[in-house]
Amino acid sequence: MAQPAIRPHDLGGNAAAHAEAVRRAQARLIVFPELSLTGYELEADAVALSDSALEPIIAACRETNAVALAGAPIIEGDRAFIATIRIDRSGVRAVYRKTWVHGQEHQRFTPGPGPEVTEIDGWTVGLAICKDTGASQHTAQLGRRGVDLYAAGVVDLPEDVIECESRCYVIARALRAPVAVASFAGATGGAFTSTAGHSAIYDSAGERLAGTDAHPGRIAVADLVR
């Protein structure tokens, strides 16, 4: 779980930070926070999946045989989504669109069609973005997919750390699967003058295996066995 230092609207610089995190982690899967490629800037330009600015992340994934799940605003047709994009040696594709859009997000973004999964080495990884983690319907729908790991990117306030930990415990116990949450660190838009950080990984019983503090640039790493 990576929480790199993110600069508002700086796709190129943020992509470089993502690539550095991929290389530092030396992990098969690296998860990043919600809207990690632009910051939680609800008016940020949409990220085109073919944008050459993403090439450094592809290269880092190719070098380390990694899969990165990053956060970005995307446009499909005439609709904008808060998305999880999958980046690996083969390129970039959108794998999930946030279901539980809330607050000011509604002014620009459309709710996604529902929970999705992505496959990595035979593992079924259930995907979520921020508010989704508090929706029992979302967790239940992923449970019916038989997920092996639940992975989410979030943006939270510092005072929400305990709430996030509680949600992770509930989700892990409900799904009987490990839970991994990458949480934004540092200031960003949407009135987040500070954010929670404390990205973490939990086992299927809800016990914390690894985590970070609130500072940008931290990475939490754990080995999981299905």
Write out the H or E segment, with its range, that includes residue 8: none
pLDDT value of position 191: 82
- Give one DSSP letter per residue of 113-160, joined into a string: SS--EEEETTEEEEEEEGGGGG-HHHHHHHHTTT-SEEEEEE---GGG
List, in order of start, the domains of the chain with CATH numbers.
Answer: 2-219 (3.60.110.10)
Residues 6+ apart with CB under 8 A from 202: 168, 169, 172, 178, 179, 180, 208, 209
**Residue pLDDT, tens place only, 48-100:** 999 999 999 999 999 999 999 999 999 999 999 999 999 999 999 999 999 99
Burial group, residue 224, by CB count within 10 angstroms (0-12, 13-18, 19+): middle
pTM score, two decimals? Answer: 0.97
